[in-house]
Structure 1
Amino acid sequence: MLIDTHVHLNADQYEGEVDAVIERAKENGVEKFVVIGFDRKTIERTMELIESYDEVYGVIGWHPVDAIDCTDEDLEWIESLSSHEKIVAIGEIGLDYHWDKSPKDIQKEVFIKQIELAKRVNLPIVIHNRDADEDTIDILESHDAKSVGGIMHSFHNGTDEQIDRVLNMGFYVSLAGVITFKNVKRPKEVAQYVPLDRLLVETDAPYLTPHPFRGKRNEPKLVRLVAEEIAQLRGISVEEVEKATTENAKRIYNI
């Protein structure tokens, strides 16, 4: 069995189809789904989903792209919701230097506030990092993120040194469909470099659809393709990847 550790079943793309999407995933051996809420709308939808489906868990936080819109009231609201027994982490939080909606200083401020929030509620953190590897890891190290631990979501392009720093904080590395793309090199190297007891699999669906379905809407049923690619790259069985990544997910998310 597999756990999709990062999926957006709360996205508009799945409106009216969640039952069918979950059923298709179960038919492909996916037993649990961790849904990420990252703004008011998706957090509200996440709370609805975790109440409606036994196999769905939630992660809530404020996305760095929208950091400029985040208020103290929003963070207080997230903190109040985090006491729900099926909220398993704070996220996805971090830094995103690809898009320019939110200035870097505001992103950093909101990121740090949410690390401190996670410490108060004793939950791990799920990190979104795009084109901001060094600043992201520096903040995690300097603000004692090691005390809560967490996941580097879709962390396909870090250097060996950066991965080592992340692992030294007790973090896990989650890989998505990017590692199946034919024209990538570093993501495949990362899939081999990270110790098996620190690897997770995810879809980030409806985004990052794996080969050979690239260009179509992603679904959690396709997380199996990520596990199969890891197994092929590492020269081990798919069953070994399933077992390890499922145990890892249950450990970090405490489920």
Structure 2
Amino acid sequence: MSLPQLVDSHCHLDFPDFDDDRAGVIDRALAAGVTRMVTICTRLKNEPKVRAIAEAFDPVYYAAGTHPMSAADEPLATVDELVAMSAHPKFVGIGESGLDYHYTADSADIQKQSLRVHIAAARETKLPLIIHARAADDDMIRILTDEHANGAYPCVMHCFSSGPALARAALDLDFYLSMSGIATFPKSQEVRDIFAAAPLDRILVETDSPYLAPVPNRGKTNEPAYTAHTAARGAEVMGVSLEDFAKATTANFDRLFWKAAA
């Protein structure tokens, strides 16, 4: 029986955790049925390294932006800079950007400024905005909604683990919610409930590797192959077969990340 085909819509293959075995990580992903991966650049100065990984491995695509936790330490990205990067055939998304007030609330103002730059680039390129949101639901709802009123843009709420109000706001804007290994953790019932209530045609699946390894690999270095564990749990949460979950999330990925469509 062939494995259901999955996509890891968000991983960090440039991180040093993978320096000794990057080719092996990608081979294991393919062996687990994970046929494509999007590796995310979180500081624009690292874009050449991330791009080189996407160029070296056929199943790997990439996105680039300034992570909100780095926004105060990095030069403010410009729309022109992001648009220029997007010309690369394997550049498929803008970000990750967003708001993180859990550790970096003191840089809220520059985070908001950076987020609006990334939104403008997503609007101009029609590439999906990749959002990181943590402990900032009210501001996130306000900015995403206000900006959408100025002109639509595609978006995914990566590694969604925020509250139901942000989930509803995102879905109302026709955005996508991405399920990570958090959905497999025993104490994450609220997250599972949010996904269970969401339409299946708005769900993606990801690892955010090397972080957040799903059960049964929790505590280990996460890698794209483990998308399969999150997908198995996701299928249970959504009340569908693994095959149908894989088919739906892959179709959703192709629709949103159109430059990486199969």
TM-score for the superposition, normalised by structure 1: 0.94
Aligned partner of 1:88 among 92, 117, 133: 92
Count of paired positions: 254
Q: Is the 8 A contact 2:196 2:238 kept in 1?
A: yes
Give the structure 2 partner of residue 147 of structure 1.
152
Separation of aligned partners in 2, 1:25 and 1:173 = 22
Q: Which amino acid aligns with 1:25?
A: A
Residues 68-107 of structure 1: pairs in structure 2 closer than 5 A? 68-72=72-76, 76-100=80-104, 103-107=107-111
Tell me which of 2, 9, 24 is aligned to 1:5.
9
Question: Partner amino acid for 1:38?
Answer: T
Asked if 1 retains the 8 angstrom alpha-carbon contact of 2:122 and 2:154, the reply is: no
User: What is aligned with 2:25?
Assistant: 21
Distance verdict in 2 for CA 1:65–1:197, change over 3 Å: same
Whether 2:139 is the aligned partner of 1:135: answer yes
Distance in structure 1 (CA, Å) of the matches to 2:140 and 2:237: 28
| Partner SS state of residue 84, structure 1 | coil
Equivalent position SS for 2:104: coil
Residues 1:39 and 2:43 are matched in the alignment? yes
What fraction of aligned residue pairs are identical, expressed as a percent? Answer: 37
1:216 aligns with: 220
Give SS of 1:62's match.
Answer: coil
Matched, 1:174 2:178: yes
Q: Distance in 2 between matches of 1:183 and 1:118?
A: 34
- Are the structure 2 counterparts of residues 210 and 72 from structure 1 closer, same or farther at C-alpha, using a change threshold of 3 Å? closer
Paired letter, 2:93: A
Aligned mates of 2:86, 2:7 — CA distance in 1 = 21
Q: CA deviation at 1:162?
A: 2.7
User: In structure 1, how many angstroms separate the alpha carbons of the residues matched to 2:196 and 2:97?
Assistant: 26
Q: 1:170 and 1:24, CA in 2 relative to 1: closer, same or farther beyond 3 A?
A: same
Given that residues 96 and 128 in structure 1 are in contact (C-alpha distance below 8 angstroms), is that contact kept between their aligned partners in structure 2? yes
TM-score, scaled relative to structure 2: 0.92
For the residues of structure 2 that align with 1:180 and 1:19, how far apart are their CA atoms?
27
Point out where structure 1 has 5 or more consecutive residues left out of the alignment. none
Residue 119 and residue 233 in structure 1: after superposition, are their counterparts in 2 closer, same or farther (change >3 A)? closer
SS in 1 for 2:102: coil
Q: In the alignment, residue 91 of structure 1 is paired with which amino acid?
A: G
SS at the partner of 1:228?
helix
Q: Distance in 1 between the 2:98 and 2:240 partners?
A: 33
**Is the counterpart of residue 65 in structure 1 residue 69 in structure 2?**
yes
1:34 and 1:59 in contact (8 A); partners too: yes
Matched with 1:158 is 163
CA distance in 1, matches of 2:239, 2:189: 17
Q: Secondary structure at the match of 2:123?
A: helix
- Judged with a 3 Å threshold, the aligned counterparts in structure 2 of structure 1 residues 94 and 18 are, in CA distance, closer, same or farther, namely same
* Residue 119 (1) aligns with residue 123 (2): yes
